[in-house]
Structure 1
Amino acid sequence: MNKVYREEKKYLLDLKQYYHFRHNIQKIMTRDKHSLNNPYDGKKGDGYTIRSLYFDSIDDRDFLEKEDGIELRRKLRLRTYMHDPNYCLLELKKKQGPYQQKTSYKLTKQEGEQLIAGNYSLLLEKQHPFLLDCYQMMMTHVYRPKSIVTYERDAFIAKENQIRITFDQKIRGSESDFHLFDEKLIETPLIDDNYVVLEVKYNGFLLQYIKDLLIPLESSQISVSKYSLSRKISKDYQLEK
């Protein structure tokens, strides 16, 4: 199990902003191990594909709390990295204002498929405190698969203060097909391919040299989540700054 506490900022960049900012980041930060070893387009070091399946309650508790701006909220998902689809991560994100906690537990592909099919009893069988909490939440509030989101990620890290910067593009999703591990899954674009979502994740404070790079992007800051976008596919939702 892995537990992470952090703050997060998000920005919506056009391609010109993206190339300029990534060029500067490459000079001062290092690509993470996934970006270096698992390229999604055949070019070493260009990123990797992430896919997440989101669960929500029968009355869409988590989605509506985000939409209503509730201060304390959560998201439950299965995440897989498409270069190695033999495992997935059950992740629970709890967020209060700018602060968030993410707890992850590694499951096999077969266990992930069981959860998607509604067999939550495997969470009980492992007798792990985090999985028991997930089981109680999923059973009490009748959690079911609600959407899938897929995107290409290029990520950079700084050793100081566990700072992580990610660029997500070609963001697409589905509200009807929950085959998490299917490479041919049919999905709908969630944002225009001419835009990239930049996420800056850090613990406690940002180093000054990174703060300085972000100053020109302040007008591009956003708060919408990929899960929210995926739940609005049929509503012709537009991502706004």
Structure 2
Amino acid sequence: MNEVYRQEKKYFMTLFDMKKLSGQLDQVMIQDAHNGANGYNIRSLYFDTINERDYEAKIDGLELRRKIRLRIYDPAADFAMLEMKQKEGSYQKKRSLRVSREDAIELTKGRYHSLLKYTDPFAAECYGLMHMACYRPKTIVEYKRKAYIAKENKIRITFDHQIQATESCMELFSPDLNMCPVLDRFNGVLEVKYNGFLLSYIKELVNEANRSELSVSKYCLARSATMKFAL
């Protein structure tokens, strides 16, 4: 189990401003090893309770809240990452566990017993929580990400674009999911993640960018349309 504890800030940005800031960060930060010309693909399946507790907690801005998801970077991958993100004041704690493709498929079907074969206490915690609170697969979100890294304070800056989602199919490893955009194609999301404090020269570059703070997550963006319809 891997654990990360850091601050995270999210902003809306136009693709033009993202390209401009990306060029500036090229001069002072290291590109993620997985970056291609346009970044790399991320696909996540999110779980939530039958009464949408995690979605409502985010919308209501509660200080203590969580998200549980399965994440892959390639539909042909033989594994997935089971992740839990917990908001604690201004900090985010993220814990993750690598699970096999076969076990991940079981999780996407709402069958969580496969977690019992893992000896890590995090697997047992997820099993107990997802059963007790009746978690079910809710949506799959997919997007492209370009990431920059500074080793100091574990700083990580990411640009996410082409954000799309589906609630009609929970086949996480399918190569042909029918996805719909949940954000204008000419906009994206900037995420700034760091421990302790943000280095001044990086902070100045980010502050110069034309952006507005984002109060909802990509999960909430994906769920918003159907949740409004349900209401």
Question: What TM-score do the two structures reach when normalised by structure 1?
Answer: 0.90
CA distance in 2, matches of 1:176, 1:221: 30
* Partner of residue 14, structure 2: 14
AA at the equivalent of 1:179:
E
Shift of 1:72: 0.2
SS across alignment from 1:73: strand
Match of 2:183 among 176, 181, 191: 191
AA at the equivalent of 2:226:
S
> What is the aligned residue count?
229
* Partner of residue 131, structure 1: 123
Shift of 1:236: 7.7
RMSD: 1.6
* Partner of residue 31, structure 1: 31
SS across alignment from 2:97: strand
Note if 1:96 corresponds to 2:88: yes
Q: After the TM superposition, list the runs of 4 or more consecutive aligned residues in structure 1 that deviate by more than 4 angstroms.
A: none
* Partner of residue 4, structure 1: 4
Shift of 1:217: 3.6
**Kept after mapping to 2: 8 A contact 1:12/1:197:** yes
CA distance in 1, matches of 2:20, 2:191: 15
Gaps of 5+ in 2: none
Note if 1:75 corresponds to 2:67: yes
Per mean C-alpha deviation after superposition, the further-off stretch among 45-54 and 76-85 is 76-85
* Partner of residue 85, structure 1: 77
1:182-216 Cα deviation digits (max 9, x unpaired): 12100110101100111011011100001111223
* Partner of residue 152, structure 2: 160
* Partner of residue 42, structure 1: none
Per mean C-alpha deviation after superposition, the further-off stretch among 227-236 and 127-136 is 227-236
Gaps of 5+ in 1: 40-44
* Partner of residue 106, structure 1: 98
